[in-house]
Amino acid sequence: MSAADPPADPRRNPIAFLRALYDTAVDRARPASVIDRFLPDPPAGRTIVVGAGKSAAAMAAALEERWAGPLEGVVVTRYGHAVPTSSIKVLEAAHPVPDEKGLAAAGQILRAVGSAGPDDLVIVLLSGGGSALMSAPLEGLPFATKQVITRALVRSGASISEINCVRKHLSAVKGGRLLMAAAPAKVVTLAISDVVGDDPATIASGPTVPDLTTQAEARHVLEKYAINAPAAVRRILNDPAFESPKPADCADLAAEYRLIASPAASLAAAAEAARAAGAQVIELGDGIEGDAAGYGTGLAARVDELAVNAHAQPVLLLSGGELTVTVNNPAGRGGPSAECALAFLIATAGREGVFGLFADTDGIDGTEDNAGAIVTPALFASAAEEGVDPAALLRQNLSYDFFDAVGGLMVTGPTHTNVNDFRAVLLL
């Protein structure tokens, strides 16, 4: 089935219809689909390409195919997300908690941009996941300590903007520091947004834009989520000499920032395809944040409100954003999309005519091998037949285990792009 050609009638095959909408959203954000019109003019000198994120390798490959002159450089992506390139080196590292490979990659990237001169062009390819994948702590901060802080933030339920605020103030590359390292070369950033509001300072923790957050805000995030910061972290966050670059520090630098794909654009493409297939579309927005289970329950309440009326055509609720999981069980399995799906299934209790697809557009929900989960009316009954208690598994953050046991896991493999969560609920 073509990503741009969903089924003519969602009633005939609702799951295939929802999968086609997901594919449409992902296709709209693929680097090869969008990068052409955002390319800068070639420089008089060298073109150096660096980047980080789940889409970095695919972005590098797309750039190579469309760039007329020579290229050199290095990008880092998540394990399993590499694609073949010819002149740009592709490295792999861990996500969401950085590892030694990410540290080494950050070092190579800093050396590459540090070699740039005034006639050179530095193209920076950024996408979701770049914060963890390109990890270089500030001088005096042990890498292991940064790993501990990152792990605690990811498990705390903090928003991505809060997590990145702390990361920027502990990093030698984020929060505008990569831009500073590339001077005096011109820097053009090509970015795929995976954050609410498409804020360049938040995408991959803003390595090529000045940072408007402060050390005091970073300290507040740690206090808010009761994270006990080691002494090395407290020292850096309390020393003004380590404050991140601000707009005045970057005012004389040659830099451009170009957003090539966004959650809003991908949801709009899916909505257009759904309407063409005869569905009434209710767009709930691409900027939804908060607790995944809580949103799933709230989405079910919205379904209850709509279901009391007769509908002449299928109704589709579309939403995106960046939901988070508050970890109750450190040994839990299942990311925000699967957790949202399980809460939705529990609240709808197998209601007839209600189908849902809850997935991450990068193809990886949290740290498991699934993109998310698909909810059908039959799953609730299947759980009862199998003796599986969905509420108990939800409390234990075991949404992956639930859908693995009764069906509904959605496995796509890496999509090589990332524009946040994609949720589509169909009412027939």
Of 78, 53, 75, 52, the closest CA to residue 64 belongs to 75
Distance CA 188, CA 219 (A): 31
Pairing of strands 47-52, 72-78: parallel
Residue 162 has pLDDT above 70, yes or no: yes
For residues 77 and 39, is the Cβ–Cβ distance under 8 A?
A: no
pLDDT grade, residue 164 (50/70/90)?
Answer: confident
- Residue pLDDT, tens place only, 242-285: 999 999 999 999 999 999 999 999 999 999 999 999 999 999 99
pLDDT grade, residue 1 (50/70/90)?
Answer: very low
Which residues is 49 bridged to in the sheet? 73, 123
The vertex-197 CA angle with 24 and 124, nearest 5°, equals: 80
Residue 4 has pLDDT above 80, yes or no: no
Q: Which domains does the chain have, with CATH numbers?
A: 14-28+264-427 (3.40.1480.10), 31-261 (3.40.50.10180)
Q: Residue 278: its pLDDT value, please?
A: 93
- Residue pLDDT, tens place only, 383-407: 999 999 999 999 999 999 999 999 9
Residue 3 has pLDDT above 60, yes or no: no
Question: Does the predicted model carry a pTM greater than 0.75?
Answer: yes
Q: Tell me how far CA of residue 86 lies from CA of 28, 73, 167, in angstroms.
A: 25, 11, 32
**Exposure of 172 in the CB half-sphere (CA atoms within 13 A):** 21
Of 34, 47, 99, the closest CA to residue 73 belongs to 47
Choose between 201 and 9: higher pLDDT. 201
Burial letters 32-44, b for 16+ CB under 10 A, else e: bebbeeebeeebe
Distance CA 78, CA 338 (A): 21
For residues 323 and 292, is the Cβ–Cβ distance under 8 A?
A: yes
Distance CA 148, CA 153 (A): 9
- Residue pLDDT, tens place only, 309-363: 656 799 999 999 989 898 889 889 999 999 999 999 999 999 999 999 999 999 9
At 245, list the tokens.
Answer: 């670059």
Region 359-369 average pLDDT = 92
At 408, list the tokens.
Answer: 């509904």
